[in-house]
Amino acid sequence: MNALLVLIPLSLALLVVALAAFFWAVDDGQFDDLDAPAFQPLEDEQAPLKRSEEAR
Amino acid sequence: MGVKRQEPEVLRCAHCGDPLPPTPISELIAGHIKQFCCSGCAEVARLIHAEGLADFYRLRGQEGAPRPPSAPPDYTAWDGADWLVPYLRTVEEGRLGLRLGVGGLRCAACGWLIRQRLLNIPGVERAELDMLSGALRLVWDPAKVRLSTILTALAELGYTPILPGDPKAAEQARAERRSYLKRLAVAALGSLQAMMFTEALYLDFAGTMPLPTRDVFRWLAFLLTTPVVFYAGAPFLSGMVRELRLGAPGMDTLIASGTLAAYVGSLIETLRGGPHVWYDAASMFVFFLLIARYIEFRKREQARGLIEAIAGAERRPALRVRPDGTLEAVDPRELVPGDIVEVPIGELVPADGSLLTDADMDESLLTGESLPVQRRAGELAHGGSAPVGSSVRIAIQRPHDLSTQATLAHLAERALAQRTPESERAERIAVGFVSAILLIALLTSLAWALIDPSRAFEVTLAVLVVTCPCALSLAMPAARSAVLTTLARRGIIAIRPGALTNLARADYALFDKTGTLTDGAPQLISVRKLDNTSPDEAVAIAAALVGSTTHPLRNAFGPSNGRKAERIRYFPGRGVDGLIQGKLYRLGHGDFVLGSTTLRLVRVRAGLEPLAEFTIEDRPRRDAVEALRALKALGLRIEIASGDAPDRVKALAGVLGVDRWKAALRAEEKFALLRQRREEGHRVLAVGDGTNDAILLAGADVSIALAEGAALASRSADFVLLGAGLNRIPEAIRLARRYRRILRQNLGWAIAYNLIALPFAVFGLVAPWLAALGMALSSLTVTLNSARLLERPASAGGRRG
């Protein structure tokens, strides 16, 4: 049963991490548009590059 | 579905896709000679290739593109404008954000083009386009680039920036969507984890689990359920508070009290080491109901985006003429009497004003008149009408808000407010049911307190959970969201979903004529010979004359069979003339062509020699006959209510086989007719597209507007039909009737289940976990039953056009 003492806190910690990551992603606007991104794989372009360049 | 007219022989402009005029512009682009209809299109194509965006033409497939203006207007008035401040938002320091509507979008490729072009501008950080609502989200660095530069780039491509709707509403919706997602995530993860621990407790049939382990599991479940109940379930809790404050307990009260009872009860049991906890019931309950709420919210969002895009079309900037003759784009509400504005072809006049030149004005959206009206210089151009053939300048006489269109909008709003609110029977039943359940639960707990106090709580909880309105509360939203999804797939967007039941009950249909039953494109009906010129030749000459104009007549005459007209001159309100093979021809009416009342073609030599006369009529949509027949088969009576001239309405009614029609009706008279029909006891469905239909649409029991018509009509209607296709109206009615049937089944099932389960629960024969299972199965039944609406019942039974 000692495994539980490790695994339960671990699973709870993972839960908190997952939620924190999701909250961050939502606040970052990644889920704001659930329709348009469906078209993006059809495009071959360098737009994402541009964003990361700007971020640097 | 949206059937396009195919004219395979016609050569089309390499950019906008419109038929080429007799004298196209040829341009060498990327090693190929391409032909364009106008210098604007050639310019855009050159620009698109220069920017390395030629993929646009591959991506867009068969779709066309909007035709750009000859010179983009000046948007410098938008830089630092006061009226724009409420729309702007500071994204991070030094970055501004703006949500804009975009006019002229045709397909996803347009979105691609806009995004690529704007991102190529240094300083533009984000340009995200939501194709569904036509909204563009811009983020830029004002230190590097000015807003006017971005907007000019957009306008150069032929797309019009549209002032956004209420910025606060959009911001609020975004915040709401984000919080829904977070709540869903918490509810999903929290309830699954809580379920894991409580499941372990349930499976401990023999009671072999050591008490400390049991209590640790219980406290863990408590820890996980707490955020689910109070964070994820907050909408239900605040809903309960609101409902109780109003004295009308409803769905939220029942949901929240059920959740809280399970939660508080479990906590008490945990503290005193009782035999059962129900944390999983509390958290799963919140999770499932939250999903239903979120689905409904998304549907509302979708409709709202559409409404905003439609309303935004009205808020296009007006082009004010500066003293030095240049144009500036301003908010139409800023216009004051005395301002001169320019109105491009096909754009709506922003406010009532007097014309500076003669012009042909398309007033079909305001009056239903199918053919352009001739207006002389000095006459009034009504706000909401649109110039045909050439752009016009007008001197503003009345502010935007007092103009014809705004007045009609006001009337429509009043009619909408007078309409009795949509009261869904399901909702009323639910409220009554909820009150009864709460009362029964209270009585049960009192009774059990006397019989066996140790079981009182458990039994009360079972009553609350077993009757838990899950199925009942899902009955409507599940069916509704399924039917709305199906409708949206067929291009019918519900602006007011509550009107679905009225759509099912409609037994009378009032149709507008121009633009609704007809497609608003004039068609050549007959040619009368006036000398020995053959009709075909006369038509070809006329086609060459109007081919290079943007007059709606252009489409009536079709291709010019190789004839080319030169030195074409357009005389607003009179006609056109031009040289064809060295001979001068005129096409027009009135004095221009020897006082003819109909459209006449003449040859100009020493005098005017009449060649032929043309009868031009608005033609019915190709599926109009079939759609009306289907409506009759569904038991609806049809009547045409038109603002157009009686002879034209009569002719159309004859073609469509409609025996009731009224012509030359003004907007108020259409409304009076509607009221009369309603007093006769009919439930009236109104279908229209014009500003003059807005009051009718707003006042009818249920209404459908055509999205390509006036923005005001769409805003006043319950449903908006995207693209053409009247056939989808009977389909929508069939679907609405099916929805009503399934809703009844759902309610019947939910109530029957509760009536059967309730006595067992009251007498303490149902354990809470069994109650939770029953509730889940009941909800599942309702949901699956509703999912039947997602199929395509209409196309299975009927033909599709």
Instruction: Write the pLDDT tens digit of every residue in B660-710.
Output: 999 888 888 888 999 999 999 999 999 988 778 888 888 888 999 887 777
CA gap A4, B372 in Å, rounded: 81
Comparing B781 with B11, the larger pLDDT belongs to B781
B189 contact residues in A (CB cutoff 8 A): 15, 18-19
A3 contact residues in B (CB cutoff 8 A): none
| Angle ∠(B539,B545,B546) on CA atoms, nearest 5 | 90
Instruction: Write the pLDDT tens digit of every residue in B539-582.
Output: 888 888 887 666 667 777 877 777 778 787 877 767 788 888 88
**Looking at CA atoms only, how far is residue B194 from chain A in angstroms?**
11
Does residue A36 sit at the B interface (CB-CB below 8 Å)?
Answer: yes
SS3 B507: coil
The predicted structure's pLDDT at residue B552: 65
Which residues have C-beta within 8 Å of that of residue B101, sequence separation ≥ 6? B134, B135, B136, B161, B162, B163, B164, B165, B308, B309, B312, B313, B315
A43-52, B137-146, B464-473, B757-766: which range is least confident on average? A43-52
Interface test with A, best of B63, B126, B145, B213 (most A CBs within 10 A): B126
CA gap B202, B594 in Å, rounded: 96
| B318-402: CATH architecture | Distorted Sandwich (2.70)
Does residue B175 sit at the A interface (CB-CB below 8 Å)?
Answer: no
Global pTM reads: 0.62
Superfamily of domain B481-518+622-737: HAD superfamily/HAD-like (3.40.50.1000)
Check: CB of residue B431 under 8 Å from CB of residue B375: no
Neighbours of B157 (CB within 10 A): 23
Q: Which of A19, A27, A36 sits opposite B128 (nearest CB)?
A: A36
Q: Residue ranges per domain, chain B?
A: 172-302+422-476+769-793, 318-402, 481-518+622-737, 521-618
On the CB side of B330, how many CA atoms lie within 13 Å of its CA? 19
The predicted structure's pLDDT at residue B781: 81
Confidence of residue B3 (pLDDT cuts 50, 70, 90): very low
Q: Contact A47/B125, CB-based, under 8 Å?
A: no
Instruction: Write the pLDDT tens digit of every residue in B704-735.
Output: 988 777 777 777 788 888 766 788 899 999 99
**Looking at CA atoms only, how far is residue B56 from chain A in angstroms?**
10
Residue A18: pLDDT over 90: yes
Which residues have C-beta within 8 Å of that of residue A22, sequence separation ≥ 6? B181, B182, B185
Give the sign of the dihedral formed by CA B504, CA B507, CA B508, CA B514: positive
Interface test with B, best of A19, A24, A28, A46 (most B CBs within 10 A): A19
What is the 8-class DSSP label of residue B544? H
**Looking at CA atoms only, how far is residue A14 from chain B in angstroms?**
11
Q: Which of B116, B130, B186 sits opposite A33 (nearest CB)?
A: B130
Residue B225: pLDDT over 50: yes
Residue B297: pLDDT over 70: yes
Instruction: Write the pLDDT tens digit of every residue in B54-73.
Output: 777 777 766 667 666 656 66
Check: CB of residue B594 under 8 Å from CB of residue B602: yes
> If you count residue pairs, one on A and one on B, with CB atoms under 8 Å apart, how many are there?
58
A23 contact residues in B (CB cutoff 8 A): 182, 185
Q: Contact A33/B174, CB-based, under 8 Å?
A: no
Instruction: Write the pLDDT tens digit of every residue in B212-221.
Output: 888 888 999 9
| B521-618: CATH architecture | 3-Layer(aba) Sandwich (3.40)
Residue B127: closest CA among chain A residues belongs to which residue? A47
Q: What is the mean pLDDT of residues B219-233?
A: 93
CA B567 to mean position of chain CA atoms: 43
Confidence of residue B621 (pLDDT cuts 50, 70, 90): confident
